Amino acid sequence: MNAKAGISSHVLGNVGMFNPAPKQFALLKAALFAAALLPFARLVLFTFTDRLGANPIEFITRNTGDWTLYFLCITLAVTPLRRLSKWNWLLKLRRMIGLFAFFYATLHFTTFLWFDHFFDLQEMWKDVVKRPFITVGFIAFILLIPLAATSTNGMVRRLGGRRWQWLHRAIYIIAPLGILHFWWMKAGKHNFSQPILFGTIVRSCY
């Protein structure tokens, strides 16, 4: 075995061995939960300290949209990461990460409904139908709802593993729709670098 192969198998070997004890896993999960709330805490802090800039609604809409996309990408990345690292316990974190995608998507949508349309559902609907990038974002959000609603252990049991898994594959449609929504929004300024980057990340998770 050459030196390089020796080093990589040594490193991968150690990676493979990392299997947290139940207490360590609980700590890790709590740390991840706290970290996932940081973007929300930052938004709240910025709101109360008047640091949202000249256009606060735009700031909140864009920030929550970004975090929805980040969490969708992280959710998708769990499966290939587990395969590469052999850290099977990563799967036990996927549901929580997915729920954070839904949490930020709900904030994103609520900002739109509240500040852009003052909860006027008819006006909101007109906007959703009229602007294709919003239509696509809306579809992605609607598709996320059944996934969030069936995320409890009780629902997994009620649906049965196979049907639950089939339903939750919708994430592979939702993430590209989120990217299309982002791409369409950026198309106005011919600025495609970020949507391409996220598209590449999502594509590599299939």
Would you call 18 exposed, middle or buried from its count of C-beta atoms within 10 A (0-12, 13-18, 19+)? Answer: exposed
Binding segment toward ligand HEM, per CB under 6 A, in 2-10, 14-22, 63-71, 74-82: 63-71
The nearest distance, CB 122 to ligand HEM, in angstroms, is 14
Task: Return the residue of 36, 39, 65, 98 that touches ligand HEM, per CB under 6 A.
Answer: 65
- Evaluated on CA atoms 186, 141, 88, 20, the torsion sign reads positive
Q: How far is Cα 168 from Cα 155, in angstroms, rounded to an integer?
A: 12
Residue 200 carries which side chain, given as an amino acid letter?
A: T
Task: Return the residue of 78, 100, 107, 108 that touches ligand HEM, per CB under 6 A.
Answer: 108
Give the x/- contact pattern for ligand HEM in 149-188, rule: CB under 6 A.
-------------------------x---x--xx--x---
CB–CB of 205/76 below 8 Å? yes
The nearest distance, CB 39 to ligand HEM, in angstroms, is 13
The nearest distance, CB 155 to ligand HEM, in angstroms, is 20
- The token pair at 143 is 């598709």
CB–CB of 164/150 below 8 Å? yes
The nearest distance, CB 56 to ligand HEM, in angstroms, is 11
The nearest distance, CB 78 to ligand HEM, in angstroms, is 17
Q: Does 74 bind ligand HEM (CB under 6 A)?
A: no
Task: Return the residue of 87, 100, 103, 109 that touches ligand HEM, per CB under 6 A.
Answer: 109
Q: Does 147 bind ligand HEM (CB under 6 A)?
A: no
Burial track 93-121 (b if 16+ CB lie within 10 A, e otherwise): bbbebbbbbbbbbbbbbebbbeeebeeee
DSSP one-letter string for 90-118: GHHHHHHHHHHHHHHHHHHHHHIIIIITT
Q: Does 107 bind ligand HEM (CB under 6 A)?
A: no
Residues forming contacts to ligand HEM in the complex (CB under 6 A) are 58, 61-62, 65-66, 68-69, 72, 105, 108-109, 112, 128, 134, 137-138, 140-141, 144, 174, 178, 181-182, 185
